[in-house]
Amino acid sequence: MSGTVPVRVMVSDAWDAVTLDAAPSTSLGELKREALARTRVRGDPAEYLVKFRGAELDDETRTLQEAGVPANAPLIVLRRRRRPVR
């Protein structure tokens, strides 16, 4: 892989998706922080997790390439713990 990889990231707290052009060497943690910032979600990024194809990508130090995330892949960023409905 070379250049950038476009990925779509849905941030559930914002009910918004952003498209990011990231280098294959971008860590999942960096990608998560960028998606949260672009959707203006405030809070500790450690309270959020990244999912790909329904599975949590728990090692956020891994790069997109190491995690096997292809171009135009849909990722989801959501809270680790669900908030109660009031």
Residue 86 lies in a domain: no
Q: Residues of the chain with pLDDT > 90: what percent?
A: 85
Q: How confident is the model at residue 85 (pLDDT cuts 50, 70, 90)?
A: confident
Q: Which domain holds residue 56?
A: 5-79
Q: φ and ψ at 29, to 5 degrees? A: -65, -40
Structurally, the chain folds into a number of domains equal to: 1
Q: What is the pTM of this model?
A: 0.87
Whether residue 84 lies inside any domain: the answer is no
Residue 18 located in a structural domain = yes
Q: pLDDT digits over 38-71, tens only?
A: 999 998 999 999 999 999 999 999 999 999 999 9
Write the CATH number for 67: 3.10.20.90
